[in-house]
Amino acid sequence: MPRVRFLPEGITVEVPLGNTLLQAAARAGIVLEGACGGEGVCGRCRVQVQEGKVTSPPNPRLSLQERQEGWVLACQAVPEGEVAVFVPESSVFTAHRVLKAEESLTLQTKEPLWWEEKLTLPPPTLEDNTDDWGRLSWALQQRGIAPLWPSRHLLAELPRTLRAADWQVKVELAFLDKALYELQGIKPAGRGEGTWGVAVDLGTTTVAAELVDLATGQVVATAGTYNRQAAFGDDVISRIVYATETPRGREELQQAILETVNGLIDELCREAGISFKDIRAVVGAGNTTMVHLLLNLDPTYIRLEPYVPAANAPPPVKAAKLGLKAHPEAWVYLVPGVASYVGGDVVAGVKVTGVGEEEELTLFLDIGTNGEMVLGNREWLMACACSAGPAFEGSGITCGMRAVAGAIEEVEVSPGGEEVFYRTVDGKKPLGICGSGLISLLSSLLRAGVIDRSGRFVEGLDTPRLREGEEGKEFVLVWGESTGHGRDIYVTQGDLQNLLRAKAAIFAGLRTLLSLVGLEAASLERVYIAGGFGRFIDVEDAIGIGMLPDLPRERYAYVGNTSLKGARLCLLSRRAWQETAELARRITYVELSVGNLFMEEFMAALFLPHTNADLFPSVKGA
Amino acid sequence: MPRVRFLPEGITVEVPLGNTLLQAAARAGIVLEGACGGEGVCGRCRVQVQEGKVTSPPNPRLSLQERQEGWVLACQAVPEGEVAVFVPESSVFTAHRVLKAEESLTLQTKEPLWWEEKLTLPPPTLEDNTDDWGRLSWALQQRGIAPLWPSRHLLAELPRTLRAADWQVKVELAFLDKALYELQGIKPAGRGEGTWGVAVDLGTTTVAAELVDLATGQVVATAGTYNRQAAFGDDVISRIVYATETPRGREELQQAILETVNGLIDELCREAGISFKDIRAVVGAGNTTMVHLLLNLDPTYIRLEPYVPAANAPPPVKAAKLGLKAHPEAWVYLVPGVASYVGGDVVAGVKVTGVGEEEELTLFLDIGTNGEMVLGNREWLMACACSAGPAFEGSGITCGMRAVAGAIEEVEVSPGGEEVFYRTVDGKKPLGICGSGLISLLSSLLRAGVIDRSGRFVEGLDTPRLREGEEGKEFVLVWGESTGHGRDIYVTQGDLQNLLRAKAAIFAGLRTLLSLVGLEAASLERVYIAGGFGRFIDVEDAIGIGMLPDLPRERYAYVGNTSLKGARLCLLSRRAWQETAELARRITYVELSVGNLFMEEFMAALFLPHTNADLFPSVKGA
């Protein structure tokens, strides 16, 4: 396999034969400029080959001298053997785009929810002949670990265990609740095996999991898959209906998510070469419905006014009792949620981004099927959920798709709508359009004059891309001849209205929260955006369509899947776990369906960018 | 069956045909004077028949006029039909004897370890749509009940349960540990069934249990039986040896005690007409070895220096997991102990008598196989155990027996040892001699000049009762013609030495404890004596032989089986349970085998009453 070293970073990757340098760069985590979808047209992805050989067709975007100096378009250049490539800053994709922060978290790895504590106990004497359990408890209490409960059978054999180890032991401890620890095992201090935990993001559509080395905090393996519950309904509401109105529906849905997670655990264990019995703790984060379905809690009243869950913070359960593949004594912890529609996934994100810990006013925005947001600082926190619909997850849009290879993630439409430039995830032939692409599309169509400020196609445009479809007007982004599946990729008037409603719901939710505390959007000092858009969010575009408030762009950060990161953080830090539980209690939930405020804001936001142009001073022509 | 009404108390009892008034009085809880063992000789048990008819032989102890006035000797008078009998104060047995205090305890019945809490929850609204579990937890937290853990399956159905009950519920709660409660069930507030708990005294020889109504605190039924573990050894040491040196020995011993307790529970349930599943909590108190054997904890190191138990305070276990007949979710709580030889039975006694709560210096003395004692006040508490041997339990003595019907409980020997007067439990023909009888015997033999101050039979006495037996000299208390089994009841030189060692061990233990804190026995303001002596203890005799210190007699109280009472107190009061656990931690254990102090005191106490006569100023001729 060819090997490519990217300079100046010095990152080396191996790529399959025939892959382009653009694909190799993506693999190396380097996102290159480019608006033509890898067609060799825009000429923005130029790189310089410094060592080795690449195959690259002649291209008018490069001069002869440039070609002699080794410059190529990454989207067309195919490496052979070992290659070193220099990437100029001008080719790196950054402007106005907030890339997903993938940096590893600063973790307190010394305090995982399950851990081994080394103890050297003073052997008993006639002067100090306290009981074995008391001696052990006391030693742990000195380290702040109390009260202590033994798991079954452990107490019975404690005397011989301690003496066989000559009072030098490693004790296996599980954190349970504030002020309650479980002693799960004792072994001689010398013996050392690895210990693992699993973090899971229990998404409605996809489920992702990480295998984590509990001793080092390192992620050893990751895996993701579709949630098998999808067979019973696409969104949480349809699943609640299935669970509550079908005989054994709850059991079926529980089985489906258990099989999904167990499948991921199998995959993680295979990759790491361990047995599932080596997994000593599992932390899951999901929305409130997902947690209910996993634990087989009655979800009926999540769906019915006044929208009450059975439990926001269910206590941990033993893996064996739940049916999860892990050590039978392992506890499964679920990150606590706030309300029926602000779940543990959001709380995990708030925790990971530190929203509740700083002095500055911060917004955490998780855009999935619902737009969920948390606003506040270390003094106060408020949350709401607005039914944005699944548009930004690529669902409910004719050619929508998730942000996987082949998804259009950025679009540029020429004035009048004649030409369309685009970029896909991994540079593959386009298959559809993902969340970031849709935001980019809406913004671009507006700038190009293809749609008006109410999101409707402008009459009388002279472009073959705008055509009459089965359900009204539609605009073709990519003709079938250029797509991965041979069919046109297009957007309909209905899609545009869905997008408009989705962005309006998010902005209206934010305005409602802000007005409840008497603040303006300008007071937001930091905005974290989480969700499944793709690899980045184009903030300029998102502001351009009025989805995000018109703030200095540097106040934005795109943080990706914070649900999984938060679950991992909790797994690796019992302090973080407790703080997360406390965070869930601190967040005040605002029910947007109470009063008219949200509905008024929503109506006002059904315009590009907004009916009140003063809210978007930096948006041209707003 | 004849019915006897005793005046002036007005207590009425039914007795089998042929029973004497003495037996009827015993049944009524009235202990009459008498030193001849019901032979009609001493004439002390005179009572006056006021109504009805009794059959009574003429007796020289009564004058004709007395007989005409209805006076009879209770030990010879047999009632027919309905009878009313006046008992003069002179015939009631009181002088210098401390009767077992049978008064019911002042119990905080509103706080049992398992209880139902009535709650009226505010139904959720859009403005207050917290989760069901949060709503319930909050309501309980307002009453100081937090944190809360649900038992399995309960959380899953919580939403429907709460709504079906229209938010008016009775929740079933179990106290687990400081700051941890378990929610075991929820039902509509109206429904009312009884709820029961069981208190158990896990004695080495006998096991006693009470069925308690958890709502009222009333004892509904009581039962007692021999510990089936006796088949594996008489005392704790031989059982530890069996448990640790026989394959599956621990399991056999655990089965034996479980069968014993389950048998008692069957009996209690039959008597009360309930199912064992109605028992929602069990509290047991026993010595440290008994608790280990019940829980199948490794007892090996209790027996080996430095005498370390696996656990003094094992956490509660579920009845179903242990194999105890009760509601499967019921917790079985064991009263915490202090050390290998100062167990939960002693701690229960200390709690019930309030030793650790008063300002005055108090001694709690539990005399069984070991003499266990706790000394102190609300500021400090110290405990020790001295190997008194089982003499006072009637074991290890040729004609010893437990304090059941037919046991000689009081003895008077005439000067020179010619005549012996005695009294038996329930006035039955004598079968042996129990603890209180042995103390009385030792004291009386000394007063009568049959033994000397070193406990040896005096040479050259002219009485047929003193004879040469197989193992040296022995003294006959009752000739075979007068006993229940036709064999002589006697005491040997070896028995006397056993008794001497037993009383010396107790007194030496007390002296050692006192000297460690620099106090004299005279500082003791109160002495509680617990143990299986019988119905009373003759303090004058106990002081006379030097077993108890020479204090004003009114400072003594005999409190009987405080292990069972303490277990009941804990069952009925979670505050008491926590205080008892705290008490166990507060008591400082003194190992008497460390240093020479105990051995010196023991040697000095091997004399009647003591080698240092100054310690017993009130004992004549000491």
pLDDT digit string, tens, across residues A561-572:
899 999 999 999
E-only strand ranges, A229-380: 279-286, 317-318, 331-334, 362-367, 371-376
Torsion on CA atoms B449, B453, B456, B458, rounded to nearest 10:
-30
- Say yes or no for a CB contact (<8 Å) between A311 and B126: no
Whether residue B552 lies inside any domain: the answer is yes
Report the distance separating Cα A451 and Cα A499, nearest Å. Answer: 13
Residue B98 has pLDDT above 60, yes or no: no
CA-based torsion, A493, A499, A505, A511: positive or negative: negative
CATH of the domain at A326: 3.30.420.480
> What average pLDDT does the structure give for chain A?
89
Task: Report d(CA A311, CA A294) in Å as an integer.
Answer: 12
CB B456 within 8 A of CB B492: no
Task: Give the pLDDT mean for B359-383.
Answer: 92
The answer as to whether A182 is a domain residue is yes
User: Are B149 and A307 a contacting pair at CB < 8 A?
Assistant: no
**Residue A439 to residues A125, A444, B140, Cα–Cα distance (Å):** 74, 8, 48
Check CB contact under 8 Å for B310 and A158: yes
Q: What is the C-alpha to C-alpha distance for residues B167 and B139, in angstroms, rounded to an integer?
A: 12
Closest CA relative to residue A425, chosen from A414, A433, A416: A433
List chain A residues with CB under 8 Å of B306. Answer: 124-126, 128-129
List, in order, residues 6 or more apart from B537 with CB less than 8 Å away.
Answer: B97, B98, B436, B439, B529, B556, B558
Given A132, A296, A298, which is nearest B310 (Cβ)? Answer: A132
Tell me what pLDDT residue A233 has. Answer: 82
A39 and A77 in a common domain: yes
Query: B97 lies in a domain?
Result: no
Residues of chain A in contact with residue B300, where contact means CB-CB under 8 angstroms, are 159-160
Contacts B301 to A, Cβ<8 Å: 132, 159, 163
Contacts of A179 in chain B (CB under 8 A): 179
- CA distance linking residue A119 with residue A132, whole number of Å: 13
Same domain, residue pair A520 and A459: no
Partner residue facing B156 (CB), from A150, A298, A589: A298
Distance between CA atoms of A431 and A495, rounded to whole angstroms? Answer: 17
pLDDT score recorded for residue A534: 67
Asked if residue B177 is part of any domain, the answer here is yes
Q: Over the stretch A412-426, which tens digit does the pLDDT of each residue have?
A: 999 999 999 998 988
High-pLDDT (> 90) share of chain A, %: 66
Query: Are residue A66 and residue A45 in the same domain, yes or no?
Result: yes
Number of domains in chain A: 5
One domain for residues A560 and A582: yes
Q: What are phi and psi for residue B377, nearest 5 degrees?
A: -155, -160
| A410 part of a folded domain | yes
> How does pLDDT run across A455-478, given as a tens digit for each residue?
999 998 989 999 999 889 999 999
Is pLDDT above 80 for B588? yes
Cβ pair A310:B177 closer than 8 A: no
The larger pLDDT score, comparing residue B306 to residue A15, is at B306
Q: Which domain holds residue A80?
A: 3-91
Residue B332 lies in a domain: yes
Domain assignment of residue A103, yes or no: no
Q: Which residues of B touch A314 (CB under 8 A)?
A: 133, 155
| Chain A / chain B CB contacts < 8 angstroms | 150
How distant is the Cα of A382 from the closest Cα of chain B, in angstroms? 14
Same domain as A332, residue A377: no
Please give the Cα distance from B357 to B380 (Å, whole number): 10
pLDDT on residue B95? 39
Backbone angles phi, psi at B565, to 5 degrees: -65, -40
pLDDT of residue A10 exceeding 80, the answer is no
User: Higher pLDDT residue, A193 or A542?
Assistant: A542
Query: What per-residue confidence (pLDDT) applies to B118?
Result: 94
The residue type found at A244 is T
Cβ of A591 within 8 Å of Cβ of B150? The answer is no
Q: Do A306 and B125 touch (CB under 8 A)?
A: yes
**Are A201 and A182 in a shared domain?**
no
Residue of A125, A131, A301 to mutate when probing chain B, most B C-beta within 10 A? A131
Answer yes or no: do A311 and B180 touch at CB < 8 A: no
Q: Closest partner residue to B298 among A160, A308, A314, by Cβ?
A: A160
Residues of chain B with Cβ-Cβ distance to A312 below 8 Å are 130-131, 133-134
Res. A104 pLDDT band, cuts 50 70 90: very low
Residues B470 and B524 in one domain: no
Question: To probe the interface with A, which of B129, B137, B322 has the most A CB atoms within 10 Å?
Answer: B129
Residues A427 and A452 in one domain: yes
Domain of B558: which CATH number? 3.30.420
* CB spacing of A308 vs B159 below 8 angstroms: yes
A315 contacts on B by Cβ (under 8 Å): 149-150, 155
**Least CB-CB distance to B147: which of A178, A297, A312?**
A178
CATH number at residue B29: 3.10.20.30
**Domain shared by B223 and B330, yes or no:** yes
- State the smallest CA–CA distance between residue B244 and chain A in angstroms: 12
**DSSP state at residue A265:** H
Residues B155 and B274 in one domain: no
With CB atoms and an 8 Å threshold, state whether A301 touches B593: no
Write the pLDDT tens digit of every residue in A324-361: 999 999 999 999 999 999 999 999 999 999 898 889 99
Report helix angle A574-586 to A562-572, nearest 10: 130
Q: Could you tell me which residue, B423 or A92, shows the higher pLDDT? A: B423
User: Mean of the pLDDT values across residues A399-406?
Assistant: 85
The verdict on residue A17 lying in a domain is yes
How many angstroms separate the CA of residue B159 from the nearest CA in chain A? Answer: 6
Query: What spatial distance separates the first Cα and last Cα of chain B, rounded to whole Å?
Result: 51
User: Given B125, B149, B297, which is nearest A156 (Cβ)?
Assistant: B297
Among B291, B308, B342, B598, pick the best mutation site for testing chain A contact (most A Cβ within 10 A).
B308
pLDDT score for A109: 54
pTM of the entire predicted model: 0.80
Q: Is A315 found in the same domain as A235?
A: yes
Looking at CA atoms only, how far is residue B145 from chain A in angstroms? Answer: 15
CB contact under 8 A, B158 and A310: yes
Asked if B314 and A155 come within 8 Å (Cβ–Cβ), the reply is yes
Contacts of A131 in chain B (CB under 8 A): 308-313, 339
Q: Minimal Cα–Cα distance from B2 to chain A, Å? A: 55
- Contacting residues of B for A301, CB less than 8 Å apart: 132, 159, 163
Cα(B203)–Cα(B234) distance, integer angstroms: 11
The pLDDT tens digits for B245-296 are 999 999 999 999 999 999 999 999 999 999 999 999 999 999 999 999 999 9
Give long-range contacts, CB 8 A cutoff, 24+ apart: A142-149.
A143/A117, A145/A117, A145/A173, A145/A181, A146/A179, A146/A181, A147/A179, A147/A180, A147/A181, A147/B177, A147/B178, A148/A181, A148/A182, A148/A183, A149/A176, A149/A180, A149/A181, A149/A182, A149/A183, A149/B177, A149/B315
CB-CB: which of A149, A158, A339 is closest to B315? A149
All residues at 6 or more sequence positions from A614 whose CB lies less than 8 Å from its CB, including other chains: none
Taking the C-alpha atoms of residue B452 and residue B500, their distance in angstroms, rounded to an integer, is 12
Indicate the helix (H) or strand (E) that contains A136: helix A132-141
Mean pLDDT is highest, among A39-48, B182-191, B564-573, for B564-573
Write the CATH number for B144: 3.10.20.880
Q: Which residue does chain B place closest to A305, by CA atoms?
A: B126
**Is B132 within 8 Å of A300 when comparing Cβ atoms?**
no
Q: What residues of B are in contact with residue A177 (Cβ under 8 Å)?
A: 147, 149, 180
ipTM above 0.90? no
Distance from CA of A164 to the nearest CA of B (A): 13
Q: Do B527 and B464 belong together in one domain?
A: no
Sheet holding A407-413, edge to edge: A420-424, A407-413, A432-433
